[in-house]
Chain A
Amino acid sequence: MDFVNAIILLLNYIFVPALAYGSQLALGAIFVTLIYGILRFANFATGDMMSFGTMFVILFTWYFQSVGIGLGVFPTALLAIPFAVIFMVGYMLIIDKFVFKYYRIKKSPPVQLAMVSIGVMFVTQALVRIIIGPSDRRFFDGEKFLIKAGEFKEMTGLNEGLAIKSTQVITIIITLILVSTLFWFLNKTKTGKSMRAYSDNEDLALLSGIDPKKIVMITWIIAGILATIGGALYGLDKSFKPFTYFNNMLPIFAAAIVGGIGNPFGAFLGGYVIAFSEILLTYAYRKFFMYVLPESMEPDGLVQLLSTDYKFAVSFSILVIVLLYRPSGIFKGKVL
């Protein structure tokens, strides 16, 4: 019985939250990796682009709520996402036309493009703060829990409760649908294949008649979809604050590089690697050992490898280790 309790404990505090957080990171990491693979620069505006998309989701959610349209048990934000995506894609294409296109045609070095993306970061951040303000916002409505801790205890008769938030389930399901569609698109359709070819070898791809303008446009469209949905899911699960989104850029970069930058599947897994290691290393295992070990061997301390303050530091240390020993990432990067 104690053993089952221990497993439920780990599920509740480690597995489910890490899976949800990992999915959010994974979407962001695929976004980074796509931009890196096809447009060939590190996009430092990632976090702010995600917050820009989320801002539209929130604005539409407010509008729908004021009109009285809702989805019942599901959050209204799900209804708002498609509309927000349209605006976000528009914003991405405008930015590309007025900012990035010039440097792409000039064939500037990637460093210069990264510097330009910092300019975009400042502008996007300003727009978000001017339009919606810097404060913390929650826009979740509908049913909050799928399984409540108390109900679970009653149902199973265990000591440990398992609480599953509906946002966590929504996050995981949407991520799986989105990512499998993306991989189907990249691997099976003609456009997807030409995108991979362009990422792999630009000159050869151009030679075989692939239209670079179309590739770039589709990349930004996919990026807009990923940024909006990834940001909205994070905001639903936690809350929306422009500053946290800016900071989320760091674990997202870590996930993309750990998985092998330029490799979407690697980025997808990288998100989970980062999320799980952050939570596994900073969780206090005292209660777990109390269940598993006999009473005489119970630990005194919290049995915590690192204090939760170092959550971010964990993912960055993993990144540094990966950069040192396998700079191309766990899965070979630089090919889409």
Chain B
Amino acid sequence: MRKNLNVIAAYSIMMGLIILVGIFQSWNIALSIFNLCLISAVMTMGANIQWGYAGLINFGIMGFTALGGLAAVLISVDPVQEAWSVGGSNILLSLFLIISMVLAVRYILKNYKKSKNRTYIIAAIIILGIIIIRFISEPGIEAIEDVEPAKTGFLGGLGLPIIFSWVVGAFFAGGLAFVIGKVALGLRADYLAIATLLISEIVIAIIKHEDWLTRGVKNVIGLKRPAPYEVNLQQTDWFINFVEKFNLSKLNLITDLTERQAALNQLVIEGSSVFVKLCYSGLFLIVVIILLILTQKALYSPWGRMMRAIRDNEEAANAMGKNVVKQHLLIFVLGSAIVGIAGAMLVTQDGLFTPGSYRPLRYTFLIWVMVIIGGSGNNFGAILGGFVVWFLWIEAAPIGLYLVNLTTAGLDDTHFLKVHLIESVPYFRFLMMGVGLLVIMRYRPKGILPEKIEIK
């Protein structure tokens, strides 16, 4: 118990802060912060597995998040029958051609020795393949995008409950990670960082501009929800009764019947959105706890010991007969898959998929700040990092405003400096993140909750 005192203290302070937001601002805000903290925690766990367990830098978190989001769309949206009938066959044929092209290249690579001719043949296959695929897919894509462009204009999805997408998102992200890992894991650490950063940009470019698949920048809105809708809740009897009972003491103070009804209605509206957010919190909490148990188990298993050995001394681990390349690939895929789950969760919570909103600053670098500040190599640290950093990221604007008012108290309200500073309050969050990262890296390089390995 005593060993974990700092963990418990850190988490209690964090929960206390969120509860304070609930009391002073509103429970709605507090819960939305809490939900995004949970999603961030899943992302940081993914990054922490790669960086903390194995020392791999993955700056492509944004790409995996977006793929998870794409999975949510492809799973939950109802299929657009018309689009399938006009262009589905062309798309399927193109898909088949792409697969056969990859297989052909693989076959040649495996069965022929390296020579100039082989390279030329492979290049010829790829170029010819791309030209043929473009000719086949183009009419299909155009036909699909012409199907009610304002409403659909894409193939749609499978029409399944959106929860399934959390698993599918993991598979999507893991699949991409497998390809990237095969290609790029041999690179030096900082090259890997740059390569993954750029590959994630390519993924975003594709998601943004292939309208037939994702609707691109036109966004997909109104995704199905795993939680009830506020509007429906406000009309169900049991919920109204529940809210009434919950707030009985407050309501009894109001004697006038119509006023009491109005107050109750207000409470029901507020309560419904809090209730929906609580449903999400429950779902996310289950995911976080399952992942936490799995990652903790993995960390203390023989496999976890091997990963740390590889991280701390690759050559020695290699000499002991551990397959470093294979293990790196495995952990890269696993970590990315977890990030994919988070991406699907994020889209589930928002109920919409906006490819334009994926920016490396928010989805890659901020996650890294979380991992570093929280404590790499320690799962509890990584989760805490997600909570602390997301909390600060949201609350930076109020804190910044308070600080600005405090420091410029002597100035007139219309003084140009004060006006300018108040206008730029939203950017104080970048400053806080940067300074926080620099201070932690300098004075507590292992993070708030450092990695602790007990040898039993």
Contact = CB atoms under 8 A, between A and B. Distances in A.
A94 B442 CA distance: 16
Given A116-B441, A122-B369, A309 B201 contact: no
A297 interface: no
A290 interface: no
B203 to A, nearest CB: 9
Given A115-B441, A250-B198, A323-B187, A126 B428 contact: yes
A212 interface: no
Interface string A297-327: 0000000000101101100110110011001
A112 interface: yes
A123 B435 CA distance: 7
A118 B437 contact: yes
A273 to B, nearest CB: 15
Interface residues of A, number: 43
Interface string B414-442: 00000001011001111101110110011
A129 B421 CA distance: 11
Interface stretch (B107-115, B204-212, B333-341, B377-385): B204-212
Interface of A: 41-42, 44, 99, 102, 109-112, 114-116, 118-127, 129-130, 133-134, 246, 250, 253-254, 257, 307, 309-310, 312-313, 316-317, 319-320, 323-324, 327
A313 B427 contact: no
Interface residues of B, number: 41
A123 B434 CA distance: 5
Contacts of B429: 126
Listed residue (B190, B195, B423, B435) with the most chain A CB atoms within 10 angstroms of its CB? B190
Interface of B: 55, 57, 183-184, 187, 189-191, 193-195, 197-199, 201-202, 205-206, 208-209, 361, 365, 368-369, 372, 421, 423-424, 427-431, 433-435, 437-438, 441-442, 445
Nearest to B59: A44
B183 A111 contact: no
B194 A253 contact: yes
A319 B209 CA distance: 21
How would you classify the secondary structure of chain A's contact residues: helix, strand, loop or mixed?
A: helix
A119 B438 contact: yes
A27 to B, nearest CB: 19
9 contacts: A99-B438, A115-B368, A115-B441, A119-B437, A130-B431, A133-B424, A246-B361, A316-B201, A324-B183
Contacts of A309: 205, 208-209
A103 B414 CA distance: 44
Contacts of B438: 99, 116, 119-120, 123
Contact of A253 (B198, B202, B430): B198
A211 B187 CA distance: 32
B201 A313 contact: yes
Contacts of A111: 55, 57, 189-190, 193
A321 to B, nearest CB: 10
A133 B369 CA distance: 24
A250 B190 contact: no
B409 to A, nearest CB: 19
Contacts of A102: 442
Contacts of A327: 187, 191
A125 B365 CA distance: 13
Contacts of A133: 423-424
A124 B424 CA distance: 14
Contacts of B434: 119-126
A112 B195 CA distance: 17
A313 B369 CA distance: 26
Contacts of A112: 441, 445
B313 to A, nearest CB: 13
A316 B193 contact: no
Contacts of A253: 194, 197-198
B209 A122 contact: no
Q: Rank and list the top 9 A-B pairs by shortest CB-CB distance, nearest first.
A: A122-B434, A123-B434, A126-B430, A126-B431, A119-B437, A316-B198, A129-B427, A119-B438, A309-B209
